[in-house]
Structure 1
Amino acid sequence: MLKENLGVEIPQEKICSLIYEYHKIARGYTRLYPDVAETLVRLKEKYILSVASYTQGCFTKSELVELGIDKYFSYFIYTSDIGLQKASPKFYEQCLKIVGKNAEDCVMIGDNYDVDILVPQKLGLKTVWIKNPLTAHQYTHLFEQEPKDMINLAEFVKLPEAIERILN
């Protein structure tokens, strides 16, 4: 594609190496928000936790390891690994199949309102929207009032109570 579009020919090994180096640099800036690790400890005591991410699995898994939070998750499902996009209900159907659960027994938690909340709700999953102040403005056109099952990112520590309320 580079040759066709830019007249540049770069061996695939070199491209992979450059991508890997980019991700190593980006991981240097990856950090946990306050209360995330402590909240994951509380959630892991009561629930099976899974990652369902719109990312490259090989890079994201390394980031989770470096952040020290991979140990809280039992399943790691990445769009790159299963070949489905989160905007497709089939992605969530595949996630449910992998974890061996029914939609009504699961809660999807995410900060991308359109693909983390609206799509899984169509399949019957319960959801909690994490309102991230850096990205929330992108989704305000999708609802007239804020969803009731929403937590501000700064109040992440309240997530276990929100899940308990939703499941009961």
Structure 2
Amino acid sequence: MGDGTLRVWDVKGAVCRLAIPAHKAEILSCDWCKYDQNIVATGSVDCSVCVWDMRNVRQPVNQLLGHTYAIRRVKFSPFSKTLLASCSYDFTVRFWDYSRNQPLLDTVEHHSEFVCGLDFNLHIPNQVVDCSWDETVKIYTPACLSAATHSTAP
């Protein structure tokens, strides 16, 4: 919805089970953590990514700030339990470790237009693909995701 609320629905009963006032503006993306069924990240027009623990939604586990325009997509890594990526209309892709006090690991700027799509390769650890309104698709492994700088989940 455009009101900044994250809603968790019971699709069988068509009932909203949980409504979280997650952002001050529209949420454009969300993703579940692959290692913890209780952790969800949201990305918003308010330029922030919030990480939520569904067991305690009074405040986010972390609020990730740095983008200067709306967050178009958030995606958790399938290989590291606290790593996520976000892409934005500010032409950047950012990599975060939400468990750290200073969570920003890297900012990738290789597009000349809005970055609107993002995903991790399920078959090659730490390989990322993104796409942009500049009509390009980039496949890469960010330097911040090397084995020496970021541990993978067991």
Q: From the two aligned structures, give the one with the greater helix fraction.
A: 1
TM-score over 0.5 (shorter chain): no
Which structure ranks higher in relative contact order (CA pairs < 8 Å, sequence separation ≥ 6)?
1
TM-score, normalised with respect to structure 1? 0.26
Q: From the two aligned structures, give the one with the greater strand fraction.
A: 2
TM-score, normalised with respect to structure 2? 0.27
Answer with 1 or 2: which has the greater Rg: 1
